[in-house]
Amino acid sequence: MLNFGQKIKKLRTDAGLSQAMLAEHIGVSVQSISNWECNNTMPDISQIVPLASILCVSTDYLLGVGFDEKADHETLVRNVNTVWANYSVNTKENNADLLVANLYKEYLRKYPTDYEVKYKCALALYDYLLVGKVRGKFHIEANTYESIYTQCKSMLSSICNNTLVIELQINANQLMIGLMLLNDNFDEAMHHVEMLPEVCGIKCAAQSKVLYAQNQVIGQIK
């Protein structure tokens, strides 16, 4: 179990924030962040909420209270199943992908290292972008698209960099490739191809997917 300082440091580094960046967001000194992470001091109560918000976790998680992971996960599964049973991914309003993604994100605020749930959240966000942009079921505003794209990429990066579960690493890299292809980011897609294993033709299939997408774009330009 991580102590308070360890939680802050891990969440900060997972989010790609330096101590200086986090300090600026909270409105404290870099030394304050360092003291928190070393468990020398604790934030003021007024700083807990903005700190949790910036690090995308709940205040309960930071303070280590109110945990019943099994019950919370069972509730999450029930709520997600209810959404899938009652809503569609093909509509912009009350979109099933966004609704379940929001359920996952709320759960992840309390259990940010549940990488399986984080993958499911990223998958829902990716599917929303795919259905809107590629399948043309609805229009996504540019700023909304960029925000969701960035969230999805951040979650997948977190999984790729932190999980020790090989299958989840593979799934996250494969989904990252699909995400990169939505924006024709072929170089980044190939970077994640290189992260895949050679076994069972996984890397070869991913490489072919990227090259095919790249050739399609080249053909459209011609």
pLDDT tens digit sequence for 80-97: 999 999 999 999 999 999
User: In a 10 Å sphere around its CB, with 0-12 CB exposed, 13-18 middle and 19+ buried, how is residue 162 labelled?
Assistant: middle
Highest mean pLDDT among 1-5, 57-61, 182-186, 217-221: 182-186
Q: Which of 52, 8, 73 is nearest to 34 (CA)?
A: 8
Alpha helices in 56-114 (DSSP H): 59-63, 69-86, 96-110
DSSP type of residue 16: T
Distance between CA atoms of residues 157 and 151, nearest Å: 10
Contact 91, 138 (CB under 8 A): yes
- The rounded distance, in Å, linking the Cα atoms of 57 and 5 is 14
Q: What is the pLDDT of residue 212?
A: 93
pLDDT value of residue 221: 64
Residue owning tokens 């360092």: 34
Q: How confident is the model at residue 2 (pLDDT cuts 50, 70, 90)?
A: confident
Under the banding of pLDDT at 50, 70 and 90, the label for residue 125 is very high
Per this entry, what is the length of the chain?
A: 222
Q: Residue 170 pLDDT more than 90?
A: yes
Is the entire prediction scored with pTM above 0.75?
yes
pLDDT of residue 56: 83
pLDDT in tens, 14-33: 888 899 999 999 999 999 99
